[in-house]
Amino acid sequence: MHLLYDVVYNIITIIIVLFILYKVKYTLDRQTNTILFINILWATALISAIIIASDLLVGRTNKIANIAQTLLIDIRNGISGIIGCYWCIYIICENPQRRKWLFMGNRYYIMHIPALFLMIVSLESFFTGHIAFADPLTNRIVEGKYYFIHIAITYLYFTIASVIVLIRLFMGRYEKRFWPTKLMFSFLPCLAGLAHLLISDVGFVWITLALLLMMEHVDFANAQVSTDSLTRLNNRGAFDRYIKTSLAENYVNVYLFMIDIDLFKQINDTYG
């Protein structure tokens, strides 16, 4: 029954991810964070497809099915580290200053070292079974003696991302309307990972990531609607919503200044 749930969860995950990819293609520009976001989406869809294929191989005990199952397990473990890496980099790059810091020198490539190490170890596990292997009798996934490496590296990235988000929330770096999504970004991946450890047959992690990615896409869209594409400053729509909210909540210290510059239209028409 757990396998059936797992297949259903991952089909839903793929549907959600493909829907977001379709929307992203037509609504978001190709900035660094958008590219990272798209990479996470594709990797999540791929790992969900691998899990579905792996579930369908359970119970098939011929040699070819056993080899295919082992290969799928190792590829899945390697990709999970890449997703964690991009997830962490994506969170870091939300801050423009940190984005510049990350891409200076070799820091961006250094961030990939644990994920690349996990991928190499996972491929080596195909021959040794150190990370995971397929039971020849049932073709189910069996954790190897070094399976903790996969868990440690994947959730190291998620934990770092969670800590960064919590620090930014504490320092007031996010607008209040983005707080729910950011809080979920902090806790849900780790909670889903804990649930997966308790019920290893069901992949809670990837459906959770898909839902978080959908929430992030909604925040992306709201941010684009609220900001000017050139200056990245709040536009008239954001101004109207802020005034409406301020008046509704009876803020005491709300001031409005209106400034008119003589002949500025000529300057704007000439120089843009």
- Per-residue pLDDT band for 189 (boundaries 50, 70, 90) equals confident
Residues 6+ apart with CB under 8 A from 54: 69, 72, 73, 76, 141
pLDDT for residue 263 is more than 90: no
pLDDT band, very low/low/confident/very high, at 228 (cuts 50, 70, 90): confident
Beta bridge partners of residue 132, listed in sequence order: 143
Q: Given this model, what pLDDT does residue 232 score?
A: 67
* Averaged pLDDT score across all residues of the chain: 82
Residue 119 is encoded by which pair of tokens? 């991928």
**103: Cα separation from own chain's centroid:** 19
pTM: 0.78
Confidence at residue 252, expressed as pLDDT on a 0 to 100 scale: 61
**121-167: pLDDT as tens digits:** 999 999 999 999 898 888 888 888 998 898 889 889 988 988 888 88
Given a contact cutoff of 8 angstroms between Cβ atoms, the answer to whether 96 and 173 are in contact is: no
Q: Are 91 and 36 in contact (CB under 8 A)?
A: no
- Report pLDDT for 199: 66
Q: What is the pLDDT of residue 29?
A: 64
Residue 75, SS3 per DSSP: helix
Mean pLDDT of 63-89: 91
The answer to whether residues 25 and 12 touch, using CB atoms and an 8 Å cutoff, is no
Which band of pLDDT confidence, cut at 50, 70 and 90, is reported for residue 177?
Answer: confident
DSSP secondary structure, 135-195, as one string: -TTT--EEE-TTHHHHHHHHHHHHHHHHHHHHHHHHTT-S-GGGHHHHHHHHHHHHHHHHH
Q: How confident is the model at residue 240 (pLDDT cuts 50, 70, 90)?
A: confident
Identify whether the C-beta of residue 139 lies closer than 8 Å to the C-beta of residue 66.
yes
Task: Say what percent of the chain tops pLDDT 70.
Answer: 88
Angle subtended at Cα 201 by Cα 22 and Cα 48, rounded to the nearest 5 degrees = 15
**Confidence at residue 70, expressed as pLDDT on a 0 to 100 scale:** 92
47 neighbors 111 (Cβ within 8 angstroms): no
